[in-house]
Each structure stands twice: as C-alpha cells, then as structure tokens.
C-alpha cells in the first residue's frame, strides 16, 4: 500500500490552551495519508484529462472508455453519451454477434447441382452453381484451403466421377440467398470501385477483387497503359485516366458501380514502372465464376451444348464446397480488416433469420441481440457490418460493454479474443512491440479520413486487464500523429496502478 507521511517540523502554540485542541493539531500533523482505491483510479482519470488536452486534439471529438476486465469497474471515460464514427472497430461488433449466433464451427456451403438426368454420359439438364453466401470462396487469405486443390477442379472431378461427358443445358448461377443490392446505400462513390468497397454477393469469389497491371513512362505527367487484369473479367471496359507521377506511391482510384462493366481509373502511379498493380472491386462475381466454369469444362473435355427441350427434375446436389470454420474467417476479418467478410456475416445473420440476406435486417438483428444482453443501444447507429459507412456511430462505452460481455459472459471468449491481433500483428504493425511486449496490447483498429479508433484489451505492467475503446474523430493532425498519440496514451495507462 502506497503511503505519504507528513513530518512535523514545528508546532505553533494554539491560542486556546486546551488539551483537546493541542491533541487535535498533533494528530492532524502526524496523519499518515493512505492513497485509497479511488485515488489510484484518479491517476488514470488524470492521465485521461491530461491527454485530451493535447494541442493536436483541440478540435477533435473524443470518446474513451477504460474498464477493469476483472471487476467491471469503469476506470475512466469521457462523455459516455457521445456517439462517434467507429471505422473498422465496428467489425468487433459484427464478428462478436456472428460468433455468438452462428457458432464458431459454422461453415458456408457452395453447391454444384443439376435439374436434369444423366443418361449415357449426357447430363440432360442445367448445371447450377448455387451460392451459399461463402465470403471466402477462392480467397487469397485461404489459398491452401481453396486453391491448392482448386475448387473448380473439385467440381470438374465430381462431374467426371458421375461419368458426365456432355451437358445439354446451360450453366446457371444462383446468388439469391442475399438481396440484389450488393453494397450498403451509405457507402460513398469513391469507395465502390476499389477493392475495399467490393459488393457482397450470395456467390462471391476471389475476395470479389481483381488486379489491374499498369505500366508508366519514365516522365511524370504522362498517360499510363493497362497491361492486363487478373483474373480476366468478361466484357469489362476501362477508361484509363491514370498519369505517371514523381510521387512514389499508389494514388490511383477505380470508379464504377456494382454490376456495371464500365470502370474509370483516375489518379497517379509512380513513373518508370514496368508493372505496377492496383486492386479493384469485381463488378459481378457470379458472371466471373460462370465464365471460369465454362472454361474449365472445355479444358476437361466436357462439352457444353446448346439447350434442348428436356424434362427437368427436382434439383439435386452433385457436390458441395464447404468454407473454413467461421472462427477462422472471423480471425482474418479482424486481423486483416476485410470489409467484404464482415458484410457477408451481417447479411448471413439476416438470411438465417428470414431466409434472405439483407443489410438492413442484419443491422436490426445485431442491435436487438446486444439490447437483449442488457446493453443500452441508444446512440448506436449502424449502417453496415464493416464500418466503411460514415453514417455509422457508436459510443466508446457501448464498444467496451460488448467487449466486456465477450470477455466475461460468452462461452466463446477465448476464441473471440484470439481473433483480435496483438502488437505487432495485423493492423497493429504500426505500434512498437517494445512498448507492448508479450502481446500485452491486442486491439482492432479503425481508420478513415479524420477517423482513428482502437478497441480491445490492454494488460498493465501490474498484470491487470483493461478493456478499452479510444475513438478520435475530426482531428486536424496527420494519421501518423494520431496513431503516435494513441500509442503514447495506451503505454502510459499500462504503467499505472489499477485498484481492486
């Protein structure tokens, strides 16, 4: 226990010569002052009050909540009613809800089916690809799972095992498990054509992303050329307005709406590049997977004939491709901050409830779920599952309350916190591991223009666990400076004592 002893150097004779007054003065002077738990807590409050006065944050909206994970006590917080734009820390809310409602072992399934009969090696019917909402089919984050033995080769082998040498019908794709609107209505135009703004389909593939390979001349300010795109997107058209630049980084943006094959590319790439790659969102993943299956059939020698008049039968399964476990998808979602995966999870919550995957219904399910856990959701405005929308808003306290539930009440606690990166992994590579050794800081980050947020678990040097949310909106300093300030704050908090 920390103590402060006040030492008497001189006693002044009191004006009233009484024993009582003399003893009272002596006791007051010899008082041993003990720092109470409340005073210890005020150290954290004082650090918070000091930090929010930083000149770089003068015009910022700030939301901070710190809670003792063991006792549940709020150690310090700013205005708990202040709703702020969370950026990608909203993924913690989405993934936590999906984990609780779907379960860690849940798997999505994509089906290859038919509505025809197989007679003498001829499939007298259509071949159907039925989407099951799998967000990671063919994903580069799961190459070993889907691409080492390519899922298309798996489908071809399944056809051959049934001795199918020709197909009299068509290839049909069914992505109706989710609504036809593939992007939330509040996403901005600037994001839609870029890889991080990919639309959500009931039949997604390859992260709904493709790469554009550009070459640039050695002189700045000159037009660039498109060399190739990978994978090839059927019937896509580019208006390439990208110029070469002395700036040695990617400043090119792709513009285009979902389901439209026209794309405009604006901005700059470094000059003198023979092969400079930018990533873009796929306009229609269902069309791509259909085209690739047609190519695979041709290469394998299975003929795809024009449709004849045939008697259709009840559709039945030829083969199914299951996804990795949900917890593995959630870990990538939180480590790599993949918007597409989070949006899939939100829609799938709606599908499991109503039979159709809807962003709006998914939002309602998330809010109702946390309200049922005793969390006041007033001031929680949710427009998507990933945090890409600037119309999202949540309080720092609500974020911490959700973390507290997952830490102390969920049976999936260890799995959930295992999905949140520790310094220097995932998006926490920007923090110095010397400041947070042995994984003492794990958090999800969230950022967009004038937004920088972190939420997670901080272990102090005295071995106490603190659940936290730090949210900055509309700061005037640079993103790198905002990161430095937050790192400094969390480091200082980690060194302070926390009361029992």
Residue 216 sits at the vertex; the CA angle it makes with 212 and 222, to the nearest 5 degrees, is 120
Q: What is d(CA 304, CA 264) in angstroms, rounded to the nearest whole number? A: 35
If asked whether residues 297 and 341 sit together in one domain, one would say no
Residue 500 placed within a domain: no
pLDDT score at 308: 64
Q: What is d(CA 341, CA 347) in angstroms, rounded to the nearest whole number? A: 10
Q: Is the pLDDT of residue 489 over 60?
A: yes
pLDDT category at 309 given cuts 50, 70, 90 is low
pLDDT score at 78: 95
- The DSSP output letter for 227 is E
Tokens of 245: 């630049």
If asked whether residues 16 and 71 sit together in one domain, one would say no
Which range of residues forms the domain containing residue 211?
A: 107-324
Q: Is the pLDDT of residue 267 over 50?
A: yes
If asked whether residues 358 and 420 sit together in one domain, one would say yes
pLDDT score at 288: 97
Cβ(108)–Cβ(81) under 8 Å?
no
State whether residue 460 is helix, strand or coil. Answer: coil
Which of these three, 269, 293, 324, is where a domain ends?
A: 324
If asked whether residues 115 and 42 sit together in one domain, one would say no
pLDDT category at 305 given cuts 50, 70, 90 is confident
pLDDT category at 313 given cuts 50, 70, 90 is confident
Residue 394 placed within a domain: yes
Give the burial class of 286: count Cβ atoms within 10 A of its Cβ; 0-12 exposed, 13-18 middle, 19 or more buried. buried
Residue 111 placed within a domain: yes
If asked whether residues 10 and 101 sit together in one domain, one would say no
Q: What is d(CA 156, CA 159) in angstroms, rounded to the nearest whole number? A: 5
Comparing C-alpha atoms, which of 322, 284, 88, 326 is closest to residue 199? 284
Q: Whats the size of the chain, residue-wise?
A: 500
Between these two residues, 5 and 360, which has the higher pLDDT value? 360
Give the burial class of 58: count Cβ atoms within 10 A of its Cβ; 0-12 exposed, 13-18 middle, 19 or more buried. exposed
Q: Is the pLDDT of residue 35 over 70?
A: no
pLDDT score at 23: 38
Between these two residues, 476 and 14, which has the higher pLDDT value? 476
Virtual torsion, Cα 161, 167, 169, 173, nearest 10 deg:
50
Which of these three, 268, 290, 324, is where a domain ends?
A: 324
CA distances from 228 to 99, 214, 219, 259, 296 (A): 39, 7, 22, 21, 21
- Per-residue pLDDT tens digits for 378-402: 999 999 999 999 999 999 999 999 9
Q: In what order do the strands lie in the sheet with 171-174?
A: 171-174, 127-130, 109-114, 316-322
Which of these three, 324, 352, 370, is where a domain ends?
A: 324
pLDDT category at 20 given cuts 50, 70, 90 is very low
Residue 7 placed within a domain: yes
If asked whether residues 91 and 135 sit together in one domain, one would say no
Q: Phi-psi bin for 323: left (phi > 0), alpha (psi -120 to 50), beta?
A: beta
Mean pLDDT in residue range 416-440: 96
Q: Is the pLDDT of residue 198 over 50?
A: yes
If asked whether residues 283 and 330 sit together in one domain, one would say no
Residue 41 placed within a domain: yes
- Per-residue pLDDT tens digits for 244-262: 999 999 999 999 988 899 9
If asked whether residues 99 and 115 sit together in one domain, one would say no
CB environment 238-247: b (16+ within 10 A), e (fewer): bebebbbbee
Beta bridge partners of 466: 68, 458
- The DSSP output letter for 8 is P
- Per-residue pLDDT tens digits for 57-114: 999 999 999 999 999 999 999 999 999 999 999 999 999 999 999 999 999 999 999 9
Tokens of 153: 């080769």
pLDDT score at 259: 87
Q: How many CA atoms lie within 13 A of 178 on its CB side?
A: 28
If asked whether residues 289 and 392 sit together in one domain, one would say no
If asked whether residues 273 and 393 sit together in one domain, one would say no
Q: How many domains does the chain have?
A: 3
pLDDT category at 42 given cuts 50, 70, 90 is low
If asked whether residues 7 and 51 sit together in one domain, one would say no
Virtual torsion, Cα 376, 101, 178, 131, nearest 10 deg:
160
Residue 499 placed within a domain: no
pLDDT category at 141 given cuts 50, 70, 90 is very high
Looking at every residue in the chain, the average pLDDT score rounds to 91
If asked whether residues 306 and 424 sit together in one domain, one would say no
């Amino acid at each position: 226990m920390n103590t402060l002893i006040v030492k008497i150097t001189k006693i002044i004779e009191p004006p009233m010569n009484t024993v009582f007054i003399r003893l009272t003065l002596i006791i007051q002077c010899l008082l041993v002052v003990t720092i109470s738990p409340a005073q210890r807590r005020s150290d954290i409050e004082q650090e918070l009050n000091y930090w929010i006065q930083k000149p770089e944050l003068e015009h910022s909206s700030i939301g901070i909540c710190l809670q003792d994970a063991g006792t549940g006590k709020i150690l310090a917080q700013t205005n708990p009613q202040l709703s702020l734009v969370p950026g990608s820390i909203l993924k913690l809310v989405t993934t936590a809800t999906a984990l609780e409602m779907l379960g860690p072992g849940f798997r999505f399934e994509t089906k290859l089916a038919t509505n025809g009969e197989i007679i003498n090696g001829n499939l007298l019917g259509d071949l159907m690809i039925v989407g099951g909402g799998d967000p990671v089919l063919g994903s580069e984050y799961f190459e070993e799972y889907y691409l080492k033995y390519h899922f298309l080769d798996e489908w071809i082998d399944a056809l051959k095992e049934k001795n199918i040498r020709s197909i009299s019908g068509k290839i049909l794709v069914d992505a109706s498990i989710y609504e036809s609107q593939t992007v939330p209505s509040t996403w901005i135009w600037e994001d839609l054509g870029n890889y991080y703004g990919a639309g959500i389909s009931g039949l997604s593939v390859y992260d709904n992303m493709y790469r554009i390979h550009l070459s640039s001349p050695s002189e700045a300010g000159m037009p660039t050329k498109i060399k190739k795109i990978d994978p090839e997107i059927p019937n896509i058209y580019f208006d390439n307005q990208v110029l070469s630049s002395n700036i040695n980084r990617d400043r090119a943006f792709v513009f285009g709406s979902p389901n439209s094959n026209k794309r405009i590319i604006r901005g700059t790439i470094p000059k003198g590049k023979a092969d400079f790659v930018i990533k873009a969102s796929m306009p229609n993943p269902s069309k791509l997977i259909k085209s690739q299956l047609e190519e695979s059939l041709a290469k394998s020698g299975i003929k795809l004939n024009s449709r004849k008049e045939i008697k259709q039968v009840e559709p039945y399964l030829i083969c199914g491709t299951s996804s990795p476990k949900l917890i593995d998808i959630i870990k990538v979602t939180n480590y790599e901050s993949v918007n597409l995966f989070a949006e899939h999870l939100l829609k799938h919550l709606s599908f499991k409830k109503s039979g159709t995957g809807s962003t709006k219904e998914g939002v309602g399910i998330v809010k109702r779920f946390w309200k049922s856990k005793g969390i006041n959701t007033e001031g929680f405005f949710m427009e998507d599952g990933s945090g890409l929308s600037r119309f999202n808003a949540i309080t720092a306290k609500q974020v911490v309350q959700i973390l507290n539930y997952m830490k102390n009440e969920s049976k999936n606690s260890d799995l959930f916190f295992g999905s949140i990166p520790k310094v220097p992994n995932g998006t926490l590579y920007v923090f110095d591991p010397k400041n947070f050794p042995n994984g003492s800081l794990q958090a999800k980050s969230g950022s967009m223009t004038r937004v920088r947020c972190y939420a997670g678990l901080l272990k102090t040097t005295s071995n106490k666990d603190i659940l936290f949310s730090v949210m900055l909106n509309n700061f005037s300093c640079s993103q790198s400076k905002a990161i430095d300030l937050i790192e400094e704050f969390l480091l200082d908090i980690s060194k302070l004592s926390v009361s029992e």
